[in-house]
Amino acid sequence: MDAVDEELVRQLTERARAEGLQLTGEGGLLQKLTKLVMESALEGELDDHLGYGKHDPAGRDGGNSRNGRRSKTVLTEAGPVEISVPRDRDASFEPRIVAKRQRRLSGVDDLVLSLSAKGLTHGEIAAHLAEVYGAEVSKQTISTITDRVLEGMGEWQNRPLDPVYAVIFIDCVNVKIRDGQVANRPIYVALAVTVDGTRDILGLWAGEHGDGEGAKYWLRVLTEIKNRGVADCCIVVCDGLKGLPDAVSAVWQQTIVQTCVVHLLRNSFRYASRKDWSQIAKDLKPVYTAPSEAAALDRFAEFAGTWEKRYPAIIGLWTNAWAEFVPFLQFDTEIRTVICTTNAIESINARIRRAVNARGHFPTEQAALKCIYLAIMSLDPTGKGRKRWSNRWKAALNAFQITFDGRLSASSN
């Protein structure tokens, strides 16, 4: 059967080439085939609905029967296609392949969502469809298509979660939202590592402009995560978010809060001249690679002796973050490697930022969340990233199981 199909396709393409017919574009072979397939499928659906085929004598008994056709133009991935839709006499026929009042095939909706996930504005998507497919689609129609993801986003944001995670990384992406005037607003992303070593993005939360977030804000967010089923988490890794350590202690008493070392280094460079960056990085490395907290304190004292007069703000930054900086020093190398940085979430944030930056700014908070949600849903379409992620975490998870007294396996008992 496959050989026959391949031969038929070959004959069609050769005939189209011989007749000067283009494969794509207006009046091309793909449009003609799409029209033929859809109309044939509609005829088959009507046969099933009536209970007999076209020209069958069974239709002469005075019951429901065919009643001509009506034309409609459907937007497809091959471009606009005009089709003839068969009708029945009592108007009870409800086609499924092209439903009543449907003007687009699902593939077009998927294309719009994919382009939106990459950060294209509604106007840019409309222009793309017009240029590539010759289809006129209004910005309002595109908005309607993308708004359909809101229901799915709500279900995703409230779905049940695992009872325990090895690590939860919390980071934020700043987006510009026009609320009276354009201002930066943080959108927080929580990425968890499961007991199997896979990644699970737990949700998105919009913060306030400025320093609106504190212990109460984070208590609400973490309580929401707990109410969705998360009874325990070994470590929460973040970038010095105000009030988060207190909220973590209130929700999960055994959980350790770890400051991201890479963020500490980046923030240190903000207070230093660029010509000193490489030397500062070199002098700080013995601090965050020390074998113990005592050794780290000694190395930090040496660092302070060298740089405090020139850059006292750097010394203050590390001193204030010390309590959340040092927890990982008590663990072995496997655990240190995966928790001392939020690089695990940086690759995801990079994709999100591309989509956000392409849009410039958003009219509402919901529009920003929708764009980020679409970017998240389009991550790793082949699954290769998920596999690499899981393999990278295997050794660390064994160390977690021993270090945290079997808390990871407790969820399966």
pLDDT tens by residue, 260-275:
777 788 889 999 999 9
Percent of the chain predicted with pLDDT > 90: 19
Q: What angle do CA 275, 281, 282 make, to 5 degrees?
A: 105
79: number of Cβ within 10 Å = 19
Whether residue 4 is predicted with pLDDT greater than 50 in this model: the reply is: no
Contacts of 321 (CB under 8 A, 6+ apart): 240, 259, 264
SS3 104: strand
Give residue for tokens 């298509």.
Answer: 145
Beta bridge partners of 177: 183, 362
- The confidence score (pLDDT) of residue 232 equals 92
Q: What's 224-254 look like in SS3?
A: HHHHCCCCEEEEEEECCCCCHHHHHHHHCCC
Q: CA nearest 348: which of 171, 184, 225, 206?
A: 171
Tens-place pLDDT, residues 118-174: 666 677 777 766 666 565 666 776 676 677 677 788 888 999 999 999 889 888 888
Whether residue 24 is predicted with pLDDT greater than 60 in this model: the reply is: no
Q: Which of 18-22, 186-190, 396-400 has the lowest mean pLDDT?
A: 18-22
Which amino acid belongs to residue 352?
I
Q: CA nearest 42: which of 19, 66, 9, 75?
A: 66
- What's the chain's average pLDDT? 78
Contacts of 158 (CB under 8 A, 6+ apart): 228
Task: Give how far the C-alpha of residue 377 lies from the chain's centroid of Cα atoms, to the nearest Å.
Answer: 4
Q: Do the Cβ atoms of 287 and 340 come closer than 8 Å? A: no
Q: Any idea what DSSP says for residue 154?
A: H
Percent of the chain predicted with pLDDT > 70: 70
Give the length of the chain: 413
Whether residue 379 is predicted with pLDDT greater than 80 in this model: the reply is: no
- The confidence score (pLDDT) of residue 1 equals 42
Q: Do the Cβ atoms of 113 and 374 come closer than 8 Å? A: yes
